[in-house]
Amino acid sequence: MQTQLQRLWNDGNERWQFFRQWLRHPISTAAISPSGVRLVRAMVAEIPPEAQRVIELGAGTGVMTRAILERDIAPQDLLVFELNPELARYLEDVFPQVRIRCADARDLAAEAAASGFAEGGLADAVISSLGLLSMPRSLQKDILAASFQCLNPGGRFIQFTYGPTCPVPRDILDELGLHAVRGQTVLRNVPPATVFVFSRSRSRAIVPRSIR
Ligand SMILES: C[S@@+](CC[C@H](N)C(=O)[O-])C[C@H]1O[C@@H](n2cnc3c(N)ncnc32)[C@H](O)[C@@H]1O
């Protein structure tokens, strides 16, 4: 069991790792420190209770990864993407039983097949910490399309954003046949963030009644 001192040491180490990467790659890293515990909880709470297989996009130093595993997702049922090679190596050290792909989330479907993850079936949820807001539209669209290719029909794409509104424009949602539901806003995060959940829809891109 981890002592309080070990936990503080690990936490400080993760923050330092993350900050160094932000100095080097500010746009793709998209935040100066890892997500806070409240935001992590709000994201993981959106994973359906019956979910067994999860894909994580943009794992950074692994704060969401740890919470997904604590949510009883088995390591072999989790597939993690991290584009930054230093962070991907760090994740491999910390989570040796989890499939970590140092790859672009855009290539999710091909990577899920190449890693053997796809053999176990479709995923129930995608947890994404990617900076969708600062991505070009074509990349946003490719990432969402690839994610829904790997999700079962009732699967959810769970995303947080630092902006005040849905990070994906309505026309892209329409084109992909998705709808977005606003989740929890976490003010005690640096910076404050809001969770959005995307799912397949039959008719409308945004479900206004559900947006709180
Ligand atoms: C805002 S950080 C989130 C890190 C961590 N999940 C957290 O919540 O603290 C976004 C992460 O996504 C990674 N990333 C950015 N673009 C990516 C892409 N196209 N594919 C995979 N990872 C990407 C960055 O390297 C960075 O580690």
Question: Ligand 1: which of 15, 19, 24, 57 to mutate, judged by most atoms within 8 Å of the beta carbon?
Answer: 57
Amino acid 2: pLDDT: 61
* Distance in angstroms (rounded) separating the CA atoms of residues 164 and 57: 21
Residue minimizing CA distance to atom 27 of ligand 1: 60
User: How much is the pTM?
Assistant: 0.90
What is the CB < 6 Å shell around ligand 1? 28-31, 34-35, 57-60, 63-64, 81-84, 87, 104-105, 129-131
Q: Are 56 and 87 in contact (CB under 8 A)?
A: no
Domain 35-210: CATH architecture, name and number where available:
3-Layer(aba) Sandwich (3.40)
Q: What is the mean pLDDT of residues 21-26?
A: 86
Q: What is the tens place of the pLDDT at every residue in 172-183?
A: 999 999 999 999
Q: Which residues pair with 128 in a beta bridge?
A: 57, 159
- HSE-up (13 A, CA, CB side) for residue 8: 3
Q: Which residues pair with 152 in a beta bridge?
A: none
Band (pLDDT 50/70/90 cuts) for residue 208 is very low
Q: In what order do the strands lie in the sheet with 178-186?
A: 99-101, 78-81, 54-57, 123-128, 151-161, 193-200, 178-186
Selection from 174, 175, 194, 192 nearest residue 184 by Cα = 194
Give residue 212 CA to ligand 1 midpoint distance, Å: 27
